[in-house]
Amino acid sequence: MKRIIFLCIIILSSIAGYAQSGNDIQIRGADLSSAPQIEDAGGQFKDSSKVKDVLEIFKEYGANYVRLRLWYAPAGGYCGLTKTLAFAKRIKAKGLKLLLDFHYSDTWADPGHQTKPAAWANLPYNILEDSVYQYTKDVITAFKDQGTLPDMVQIGNEITNGMLWPDGRNSGSANAWTNFADLVKAGIKGVKDAADTSQVKIMIHIDKGGSNSTSRWFFDNLISQGVDFDVIGLSYYPWWHGTFSQLQSNLNDLATRYNKDIVIAETAYPWTTLNKNDGYPNVSYDPSKLPAGYPVTVQGQRDFMTYLEEIIKNTTNHKCIGFFYWEPAYISVPPIGSPWENYTLFDFDGNTMNSMNVYRSQNTDTLPTVNVTVRLNTATMGDTINSKSILQLRGQVQGVSSGFLPSGEKIAWDQTSQVILKNAGGDYWEYTFKMYPADQLQFLFWSGFSLTKPTFRNLGWESTVTPYDSSGSSYRVFTAGLKDTTLELEYYNTYESKLPQYRTPIEPKQDSIGILFRVNVAKLMQSGLFDTTKNGPIAVRGDSANSAGVLSWYSDKLILNKESKSVGGGTFWSGVAYFPADKITAGTPVSYKFYVENSQFGGIEPGIGSRTFNFPGEDTTLSWKFFNDGISITGIKNYKDYAPDKFYLYQNYPNPFNPATAISYQLSAFSHVTLKVYDVLGREIETIVNEEKPAGFYRVYFDGSKLASGIYFYRIEAVPIGRQAGDFIQTRKMLLIK
């Protein structure tokens, strides 16, 4: 244990020695406007279960800017001048910068609400314009007098449609834009006259971060009115404002068109579909408009922000300089509650989550990386995958990388993962990517005939494994060191039981080289030429001289075993032969064929010439073959039409789960299927399936987001059409952990 701890210290120390400079994000901000009210109501913020000052938490994670909204005369005083001034003192005392967001309202201002303060409701336009100037000047003077001058000031909040309606609405009349622009100019003049410094940047903030047409329309018109400002602010919530691609295109165009700094002034992403039942319905979103591959989980939230940071960094001329996460500390606390608790970076108990790491400075230009090569052998896969199929590494990285590897690939637990292995010959697959030292990769393999068509067993997923570190998890684990690494060869787990991560079907033997032979007899079975009750076993016959007597053309020295976990109820047969390494020179050609005992056609593969392999220098597997290499002995059906040989209900995956899990099953006959979920008291929770289905493999999803943590059971009953009772009834247990 001491050795492992010492190694981690070396790795982390090495990383710490690299400077954080270059193409990094300048602003990593948080809108913490509600924090004072939450604290006054008794709310606590915790990191590693330890109660801390909310500002200290954000600073320790790497935030460098705080955004505060300012209302004119709010009910209760929160977000008013007095309380905002008090919070500004704490912010500046922590060495954090401040963005002051003038709403010019007594309450929320946004594209659909720009209500004038009650005190200004009936003012003539010229008096209103002067009031904007004087109020803004007085506020900035107050901040300056207490030594907390803002570093940046927003004139209005999401003013796409103007502000201070109806006088400042930028549509509906000939002079609408002129009136609106004059009010904006009045606010800007108030800032500059009070601050008496060029160090205070002026931001103009609109929504529609993914709409280039709206952004151009707004800023073209505003600039044509002579409004002088420094920073373009955009809101970006994907369910309201478009795709990542639309955002990136808009940022690049604005950067070129206006040559001004750009900031994502508001953004957020949900981490759960649940709420705390605090009496406040959470702000909703359209699930269909969430970006694919970014689930509503803590990891999905972090991955969303990680990719958003990459978009910011890659904006043309580096003109996008940062972001503000909107209200990441807006947790629920009685009596005020929160409609935003499922978008925060704290859980329902006020503890920081993994997604808080989005504030850590991650300059990929300066951090060291190592090359990691993953090697997989599919000789243990009970399916017909070939070199043109898909072998995908699905998982996650704990550490600096999060959802994206430093070599650029997205890594996820679903089909959006971009780590797709390449066939390296036969059963061997490889892929090389980059990792940061000390990051941990957690993963399993997924196989498919394409990204949308999984292999039959467990619908593409390999079964769980016991990681090399015996940590108790059910996935493969690798922790990057300081040097390039090629992982020890791993074998696909097609069995239902957990197997060791680095197990091998070839037992290492001194002075011997083991070779695994594998053949698929599905086409023989389909043509009626192979029946396990009448024919077999299957053997390998071959060249005795070049194999040092391990094989023979005249007798069965290597008999293969039927694989019970292969498709079609055991269409694959395999076995390992051990050759004396000191009697065969590496590269020696060895000829062989597969042979069926008790056959109707003579046993030996009749339609092909001898198979040959060159004797290797180490243990290996030979790529699986169809018996007779696919050449029909008599009428043979296409293998893809081969149906499952039995009914079966698979263990759900993932398990434990939160909040959703996949349940897979297979049918060997056309049947009426019911699949139901029950709690531990036997009460029915949900009917997932209740319909007739043909023979085949199926996968459904169960959403437990509205359920409490605990043990649940799922039960399947399949009644073949024409029968009265279920031939197949099976129940499995699953665990929901929140």
Sign of the Cα pseudo-torsion (468, 472, 476, 478, in order):
negative
Q: How many residues does the chain have?
A: 738
For residue 610, give both structure tokens: 């001898």
For residue 506, give both structure tokens: 């070839």
HSE value, Cβ hemisphere, 13 Å, CA-based, for 725: 1
**Active-site annotation holds for 158:** yes
Torsion region of 387: left, alpha or beta (phi above 0 gives left; psi -120 to 50 gives alpha): alpha
**Closest alpha carbon to 598 in 649, 524, 656:** 524
Q: What is the DSSP letter of 634?
A: S
Contacts with 4 (C-beta within 8 Å, 6 or more apart), sequence order: none
Torsion region of 399: left, alpha or beta (phi above 0 gives left; psi -120 to 50 gives alpha): left
- Given 129, 158, 309, 490, the catalytic residue: 158
Residue showing tokens 């049918």: 667
Torsion of CA 189, 192, 193, 198, to 10 degrees: -150
- Bridge-based pairing of strands 512-520 and 572-580 is antiparallel
**Closest alpha carbon to 417 in 387, 400, 442:** 442
**CA 326 to CA 30: how far, in whole Å?**
6
Torsion region of 89: left, alpha or beta (phi above 0 gives left; psi -120 to 50 gives alpha): alpha
For residue 68, give both structure tokens: 């505060």
**CA 53 to CA 552: how far, in whole Å?**
78
Estimate the share of the chain in helix, then strand, then coil, as percent rounded to the nearest 5: 20, 30, 50
**Active-site annotation holds for 686:** no
Query: Which H/E stretch holds residue 497?
Result: none
**CA 88 to CA 98: how far, in whole Å?**
8
- Given 39, 56, 60, 266, the catalytic residue: 266
- Bridge-based pairing of strands 45-47 and 50-52 is antiparallel
**CA 387 to CA 326: how far, in whole Å?**
47
**CA 262 to CA 239: how far, in whole Å?**
21
**Closest alpha carbon to 378 in 635, 621, 116:** 621
Residues with catalytic roles: 158, 266
